[in-house]
Structures are given as C-alpha cells and as structure tokens.
Amino acid sequence: MGDAARPGDDIFSQVLQESLKTWSSYLDAGSEGHLLPPHAIELKSLVSQTPAFLGAGLSSSGEKISFACEEKQSAQGKGSLFINGQSTWKTSRGICDLEPRVLPKQLQLAVGSRVTVKLSEDSPFSDWPGIHGLSGYDNGNYLSVLYLAWAYILSARWVELLSRSADHECYMGYTAQEGEDSQQSDNHTLIQIDLSDDACEEEALWWRAILYSENGWNATTKYNGHEYLSPWSVSAKGTGLTVATKASGGKSDPPSSMTALQYLTNFCVHHRLYAQCSVALAGALYIPFLRGRTVSLPFPKQIPRVDIKEGAGDSTVSISGVLNEYSELIPKCMTLSSNALGLRSLLCSTFFNPDIECNLVSAWLNPAFAVIDLISPGTSSLATLLANRQPRLGFLWLGAILTDLAKSILRDIRAGMTALDLPASAWTGTTHTFLTSEMGVINGESICRVDECRLQFITACEDHDRPPIWPWKPFGATKLCDAELLVRKHAQCPAHCLEYKSWEWILRNDSSIQDLGKPKTQYPNKAVHAFPNRTSAVLDDYRYNFFSEDLSEGATRGIFEWLRSTGYPCSERPIYQHSWLDLEGTDEEEAPDDAESDVEIQRTPKKMHVGRWLEGIE
C-alpha cells in the first residue's frame, strides 16, 4: 500500500518492469552495425503543420508589413529581437460558449552574435554510421560543410522574408576578400573541398565565402536604429576549409536562398550525399538555440571521386527530389528553429507517457536512463533509441546529437527539469502534456484531478492562466464542492477540450497574419520496437538506482502546487502535509481546528489583496 502521495509497491514495480521492457526494446543491439533508422531523417512529417516563418505565402509578396517586435538585452549585453505572435485554442466542441484560449508567444527574429563553428576529430558523428537500407550514398563525412551551407540558406531566406517589413532594413552580402585563402587557416592545414567540374564562378565564390574562416558573409537587419544578425549567423573560426577551385578574382552578389539551395543540390549530387544533408539541416535548426556559443563539428573526410561509383545505391532515392521538397519546408523549419523553448519541449516529450501519473514518474523514467547509461559513447545507438521511441522527432534528435546539445537536454530531463511549449506540440502533432488529452466523463460528486487541471487551465481560473510546465497528470479525484467555482460550472459541460486552432503573427496596426494550417495529414508516429519479441530485460542486468523516488517527488510537488496555487481543501491535507509537498511551512494563515471543515486553507493575504484590487477596477 502507498500513502497519501506515494503509489503502492505493486504498481510501482509493475510500471518499472514495463518501462524497462519498453525502453530496452528500442535498441537494435548492434545487429545492423549501428546504422541509423531511415525514419530518423524524415522531415516532412515533423513540420508539415508548422506555420511558415513570418506568414510566408499568406500575404501579397509586394505588400509592406509592420511586424510587432520587441528588443531585449541578454545577460551578456548582446541585443536580440523578438517577434510577437499568439496561438488560439478551442476549448469546447459542444454547446458551451466558453471562449477559446489565446496564448501570447514570442519567437526569435534576430540576434546580436554569431555561433562559432570549430572542427574536432571527436565530435559526434565523426564516424558517419550510415542509414539502414541506404547503400551507395554518404561515403566520407561532409556534415560540417553542409551545416555551413544550410546556415547561409536559412539566413538568405530570412532576409527575403523580413525585407517585406516596413520597419526593417535588411542586407545580405559577402565580406571575405578574394585571394585570402592562404592567410585564413591560422596555421591550420587547408582542407580543400572538391566541387563539381560544372560549378560556375558564382557557385565557387559562394562556397568559398561560406567556408571562409572568419565571417565570409553577413545577413543583417536594422531596426529602431540597432543592427542585428540573422538567427542562423555562423562564423567558421580557424576551420581551414576552402574549395579546390582557384579564385577567379571576379565579384558577384551573394545568391538568393533558392540559388544557394541549387548550389547545395549540385554539391550533394556530386558527392552522393543524401542522409548527411538532412542531418546537417537538423543541426542548423539549433543555431538560434545555441545563442552565440561554439559548436564543434566533424572534420570533413573526403572520398576520392574515383571511389564513388555512378549509379550505385538505392534507385528509389533522389537527392535533388528531397532537396526540392526541403525548399518548400524551409519557412516552416525556420519557425520551429526560432522557437528555442519549443525545440526543448519537443525533445523532452520523447520521454513523456500520457498514461503515467505524477507519482509514478520515477518508475517510468529510471529504466529509460538505465538503458541510456549502457550505451557506448561514440555509437549511433542513442540516436536509434530516441528515434525509435518517437519516430517523428528522430530528425531533431539527430541535430541535437550532432551539435552536442543532446547531453545537456538529457541531463535536464534526468534531473526532472522539463519544458512545455503548447504551440510546438500542435505544430508537430506530438503530445507533450496531459492538458491536450481527451476529457473524461464526469459523473457524481467528484472530478478526476487531471480533468480538474484541464478545466482550470481552459477556463483560466485564478492563477491558472498559464499552463503547468509539469506534463505528468495528477492522481486521484476532488470533490466538486472543493473545486474552483469555474470548474464546478463547467464540470458537467459536454466535450470540453484544448484543441489547437491557429497561429497569428502580430502586426503593429492591431491586425495579424493568421495561419490556420492545412488539413491534417496523418503521418505514422508509433514507437518502433527493434526487437519486440526478444527476451525481456531484467533489473539485475543494470547498475542503476531504480527505486529512487526523486523524479516522482518533483513531478508530484510541481503539479499539485500548480493545482492548488490559491489554497487546498482540508480533505487534501494528508497530501499537502506529505514530505513530498509539505506546504504547511509556507502558510500565513492558521488552519481551522475542525477537521471536517470545508474552509480552504493557504488563502494568503496576497490573494485577498489582489481580489480587492480587481474589485476596485471593475
């Protein structure tokens, strides 16, 4: 038997065993030579419902727009520019007239510093693992070169889209001088990247600029008297990269995003690069996330052209076809990339299970990290496990691993620090929280606490206008007479929900560009069990503290504090006096002596003060 907060030993052990069986089944046990699963490089299913950056395609191309922006200073003194937006969520499918929830949100529009790119021999994916079922492609390693190319393409598209703004003065230009290749390496040996014999002078000049070991190009905007950089601005410091083609001494303007994408296509066709191009794009999506820090990428490993067999490989694969598809998806990728919290929330959601209650989080997550801890460093097994767990997010995990962000993300999840971004959840068709799950049927005199939480949020009850950052559902039920007034009012309403409706880019003239999205296309996102019928793993196979309760304690405290932010009924006193919560020490009012009293405790003077203030302005 458990107590007021802890689950019973039987249910804890049951969840523990089921979790270990589940997480261990996602590994391929190395039978395929650590090849990555093919669904890990699928992009379309990830971003198909994501709004296009700055409403691309939703307004006349010649129309000038004034976006609502806000300038902010970081702790390092570097300025950033954010754009205002909002998501709208339907709260009822029935006859209830409850208004939709409108959630404001800011996305990164411009930054004050570049991400520095360095090359390292021990960077993730230095030894390219390959893709299961894809042969004859991606020999050698060109991830760093492709990453730099994608940074330019994203920045060029940013200039093109932001140039529609009446308040921004955008610029795209080269800064590298011809003939400087010999001085750019800073005592590093130059690595000459081979281009196709058909590459024109403008194409060679572009490659030289993006590989240049300083700032070979600039993508900037001036706003309110301040100059900012594209969020995808990078600087290839001391990489020693250049192109084998000699400089002609000619001058040209930097190419558009579409022309640069064609140059990238030519390069990938020339070197037969398919999956690496996708993984490099996945890594480039994290450039705004890095906030001007340094990223280490693998040294290029070139394969002599004579060793690349023409016509070899899977005949169903089209390099130009996939990059042509990416050209349409780039604006959607930019929106996702400019939402750093959203990216973190997506990665955290890989570990979310809507069936797990908050006091069983340890039983669910401890086996996950026991399995992860046994993975050998430097292998692709971690990427395989995470991509098999959440196939739609495999693309993002490959990017996080390439840029070495996966370590810190996993460390935070292991410590119980999760993130929640509802728009990112809707845009990608992934589940991040119990809030968006279906409401249960409410009968009798009580309501499940998980439904109580949902109603508190969708009705914006006092102090519940923001969603809880804890994704795990609370256990138990609440007497309706103890619930908030708005919860009681809507408890019997049919078909309440929290369903994404639209995204809007806010404009300065009190209007907006609304993106209703396309009709949803169902893409498979079911977890992939590499060996679903193999012998189940047992706890003794692992050296891990499976019975630690830390994660359950943190999750329970978090969601119950959110649930009862304005006070709790006496019937829940055993929960709130439990060692996991123990909120009694913060109470500024005495609890009633009568244990049967339905008077709520923990009603602070601050709450009463706010109530009087609200009455005064009504």
Task: Please report the DSSP string for 503-519 in residue order.
Answer: EEEEBTTS-EEEE--PP
Average pLDDT, the chain: 87
User: How far is 213 from 169, CA to CA, in rounded Å?
Assistant: 27
pLDDT in tens, 231-242: 999 998 778 898
pLDDT score of 614: 29
Task: Please report the DSSP string for 104-118 in residue order.
Answer: EEEEEEEBSSPEEEE
3-state SS, residue 185: coil
DSSP 65: B
498 φ, ψ to 5°?
A: -130, 95
Alpha helices in 253-405 (DSSP H): 257-271, 275-284, 287-290, 319-337, 340-349, 361-373, 381-389, 394-402
pLDDT score of 540: 87
Measure CA 287 to chain center: 12
pLDDT score of 425: 97
Which positions ≥6 away from 358 have C-beta within 8 Å? 470, 472, 473, 474, 475, 552, 555, 556, 558, 559, 560
pLDDT in tens, 526-556: 677 665 556 678 898 898 999 999 999 999 9
Measure CA 494 to chain center: 33
Nearest residue to 601 (alpha-carbon basis) of 572, 581, 580:
572
User: How far is 137 from 572, CA to CA, in rounded Å?
Assistant: 61
Which positions ≥6 away from 112 have C-beta within 8 Å? 74, 78, 79, 80, 228, 229, 292
3-state SS, residue 464: coil
pLDDT score of 212: 86
Are 269 and 315 in contact by the 8 Å Cβ rule? The answer is: no
Q: What mean pLDDT do residues 557-585 have? A: 89
Which positions ≥6 away from 350 have C-beta within 8 Å? 386, 389, 390, 393, 397
Which positions ≥6 away from 33 have C-beta within 8 Å? 129, 130
pLDDT score of 162: 97
pLDDT score of 237: 79
pLDDT score of 290: 96
> In which band, very low, low, confident or very high, does the pLDDT at 335 lie, cut at 50, 70 and 90?
very high
Q: Which comes out higher in pLDDT, residue 584 or 213? A: 213
Q: What mean pLDDT do residues 492-496 have? A: 88
> Which of 303-317, 318-332, 432-446 is predicted most confidently?
318-332
Q: Spell out the SS3 assignment of 330-367.
A: HHHHHHHHCCHHHHHHHHHHCCCCCCCEHHHHHHHHHH
What percentage of the chain has pLDDT greater than the value 90? 71
pLDDT in tens, 266-322: 999 999 999 999 999 999 999 999 999 999 999 999 987 666 655 555 566 899 999
Are 299 and 141 in contact by the 8 Å Cβ rule? The answer is: yes
Amino acid at 413: I
Alpha helices in 6-164 (DSSP H): 9-24, 44-47, 143-162
Residue with tokens 């002599």: 304
pLDDT score of 495: 87
User: How far is 184 from 23, CA to CA, in rounded Å?
Assistant: 47
Tokens encoding 5: 């907060």
Burial group, residue 270, by CB count within 10 angstroms (0-12, 13-18, 19+)? middle
For the cut 90, the answer to whether the pLDDT of residue 412 exceeds it is: yes
Residues in the chain: 618
Tokens encoding 56: 């691309």
pLDDT score of 314: 59
3-state SS, residue 291: coil
Q: What mean pLDDT do residues 12-17 have? A: 97
Which positions ≥6 away from 306 have C-beta within 8 Å? none
For the cut 90, the answer to whether the pLDDT of residue 41 exceeds it is: yes
For the cut 50, the answer to whether the pLDDT of residue 360 exceeds it is: yes
User: First vs last Cα of the chain: how many Å apart?
Assistant: 50
User: How far is 10 from 356, CA to CA, in rounded Å?
Assistant: 15
Q: What mean pLDDT do residues 114-121 have? A: 95
Q: Give percent helix, percent strand, percent coil of the chain, each to the nearest 5.
A: 40, 15, 45
Q: Strand pairing partners for 164? A: none
Tokens encoding 538: 């047992």
pLDDT score of 317: 82
- Alpha carbon distances (Å) from 132 to 32, 37, 39, 40, 161: 7, 6, 10, 10, 37
DSSP 57: T
Q: Where are the domains of the chain?
A: 110-308+317-342
For the cut 80, the answer to whether the pLDDT of residue 339 exceeds it is: yes
For the cut 50, the answer to whether the pLDDT of residue 337 exceeds it is: yes
pLDDT score of 607: 36
User: How far is 457 from 112, CA to CA, in rounded Å?
Assistant: 36
pLDDT score of 379: 81
User: How far is 319 from 236, CA to CA, in rounded Å?
Assistant: 26
Burial group, residue 466, by CB count within 10 angstroms (0-12, 13-18, 19+)? exposed
User: How far is 37 from 604, CA to CA, in rounded Å?
Assistant: 54
Q: What is the pTM of this model?
A: 0.91
- Integer-rounded Cα Rg, in Å, for the chain is 27
Nearest residue to 472 (alpha-carbon basis) of 364, 548, 581:
364
Q: Which comes out higher in pLDDT, residue 266 or 79? A: 266
